[in-house]
Structure 1
Amino acid sequence: MNIGIVCYPTYGGSGVVATELGKQLAKRGHKVHFISYEPPFRLDQYYENIYFHEVEVPSYPLFKFPPYSLALANKIAELVTEEDLDIIHAHYAIPHSLCAYIAKEVKEDSGVKVITTLHGTDITLVGNQSSFENITRFSIESSDGITAVSNQLQQESIEIFDLTEEKIRTIYNFIDTREHMKTEPEEPLKLTSGEEKIITHISNFRDVKNIPDVINIFAAINKEVDSKLLLIGDGPNRHEAKELVAKLNLEDKVHFLGKQDNIVELLSISDLFLLPSKKESFGLVAIEAMACEVPVIASNTGGIPEVIIDGVTGFLAEPGNVKEMADKGIRLLQNEEMYYEFSQNARHRAVTRFSAERIVDEYEEYYYELLNEE
């Protein structure tokens, strides 16, 4: 198959999943064409069967803002013909799904199929705003196929946009568990003496990620367990986080590492992962941690309970319940037998339920199913 993938290239779950899906499809012999304004950040080297097509946005004085959506739709339409695309896979509803629909209409005799994958905020934040609700619904309903990254997001999308269950199916996010696995660093990392427990959080530092809760949970754990906190990522709440760390006199205990392309090495030295988000449609970083044998303490919200089995691969608590999350983290870190069991359970669940082999099979089957429809 010739598959066009439209995604955001930046640091975030939807772009990561889209890029990894393309890489896995290319390994299976399909030709994959990424379409965006810059190469996805995880597409950092040459891969056989993968091509990148840059969307160039014209500068025209009539427009107050560059017309990216029009340029994207035009680029997709060009590639439908030039590369004989079979599938346009749009990750994130607005504007990608709409642009894919426009391209398909422009090339109405091509037979190309459009699949839209909903990742969460495109529905819960963008699509649910009154100014975007109608166009988001139209984009989704006009797609030949729709997937959601969790059952919870599937149900929420059905309720918000009045869809039928037959119209949208759940295909979970995934990781390559052969790459995401506990490894020994080539050289000892200077972040730790080797005696402390390492607690880690990875995100885009936005309000929904509850960064103050991450720090407060760590502060409570650190009173009982000698530990350090690694904060990986960047975003608008970073400054607020640094102020809170200073207020709690934890500067020597908390490391702000910024964006990191290779997180496996950091997860491999971690003992616990914190994900106290207000909401997560899936929680991709949770399975990345679990694959590296790191139990997760997380919020019981959104799609997280579909990823983490409470009391088996980690612990869940209601969003905002800092004390309960901290208490469960202390309990886990102080009980070696329980910790070992949880860490092995975490790896097993990541491999058996969220491996690339399993999930990419589901996407590939869905593609063929849509192409075979009359």
Structure 2
Amino acid sequence: MPAARVQVLYNPVDMERCRPDPARRAALLRELGLDEHALVLGCFGRLHAGKGIYTLLDAANAAMAQEPRLHCLWLGDGIDTERLRKSIAASPFAARHHQLGWIADASPYYNALSLLAFPSIAPEAFGRTSVEAQACSVPVLVSAAGGLPETLQPGITGLLLPPGDTDAWRDGILALCDDARRQSMAAVARNFVVRYFSAIAIAAEFVRQLGDPWS
């Protein structure tokens, strides 16, 4: 089929389920044994090498050497779960990594985050956790791989980084550890999702496409 005849609509994000919740954030930080000043970097999804988890682990450890407030929260499961666990245990900042395993509904945990990483080194069709995190006013670090760049406004709601480049990911993490920069991105992230990925936005685009299907 000619590309001009193909229209893509994103699966909408539940903006009520994915929203900022300070009380939930405080409770989750307490569960993790962290204080309110901790900076929590999240990685949510399947745990295998193609997702860039080892690049992220190395980058996070390098950033932790410079930023004492930084912690990393890992949610998910996969073929490399045990290998990641051993790599974390052998790392210099093992106590600052929190690997919680598979959780059926990850949406509450976005509120524990200061920033979210989507570090895939393999092309992705999309990156839903990136969008859901921004709906919770969490800025993101995203690989320039496949459809992932469509999930953020680079330099505004997060940073777009080269896949597999540990130094670039370390620098990106440290850049968003800067409170002013991170907070300015957090302030606009949810509005970005409302505009492009909310149910209202997707429904309006669907109606528009029905009205002019070959536009």
Alpha-carbon deviation of 1:219? Answer: 0.7
Q: Which of 231, 238, 263 does residue 81 from structure 2 map onto?
A: 238
Is 2:194–2:201's contact at 8 Å kept on the other side of the alignment?
Answer: no
Is 1:180–1:292's contact at 8 Å kept on the other side of the alignment?
Answer: yes
CA distance in 2, matches of 1:369, 1:309: 27
Q: Which of 43, 48, 72 does residue 229 from structure 1 map onto?
A: 72
Alpha-carbon deviation of 1:361? Answer: 4.2
CA distance in 1, matches of 2:140, 2:33: 20
- Asked whether 1:258 is paired with 2:101, we answer yes
Tell me the alpha carbon deviations over residues 226-282 of structure 1, each in whole angstroms, 9 at most, x when there is no partner.
221111010101112112112213331111111223323211121011111012221
1:1-374 equivalence runs, <5 A:
163-183=1-21, 184-185=23-24, 187=27, 189-194=30-35, 195-225=37-67, 226-278=69-121, 279-334=123-178, 336-363=179-206
SS at match of 1:175: coil
Is 1:213–1:276's contact at 8 Å kept on the other side of the alignment?
Answer: yes
SS at match of 1:358: helix
Is 2:18–2:108's contact at 8 Å kept on the other side of the alignment?
Answer: no
Alpha-carbon deviation of 1:305? Answer: 1.6
CA distance in 2, matches of 1:344, 1:191: 25
Is 1:298–1:325's contact at 8 Å kept on the other side of the alignment?
Answer: no
Name the count of aligned residue pairs. 207
Amino acid corresponding to residue 90 of structure 2 in structure 1: K
Following TM superposition, where does structure 1 have runs of at least 4 consecutive aligned residues deviating by more than 3 angstroms?
Answer: 186-189, 360-370
% same residue: 24
Gaps of 5+ in 1: 1-162
Tell me the alpha carbon deviations over residues 199-229 of structure 1, each in whole angstroms, 9 at most, x when there is no partner.
1001111332111112112111211112211
CA distance in 1, matches of 2:209, 2:101: 37
Is 1:202–1:232's contact at 8 Å kept on the other side of the alignment?
Answer: yes
**Which is greater in Rg?**
1
Match of 1:102 in 2: none
Aligned CA RMSD, in angstroms, stands at 2.2
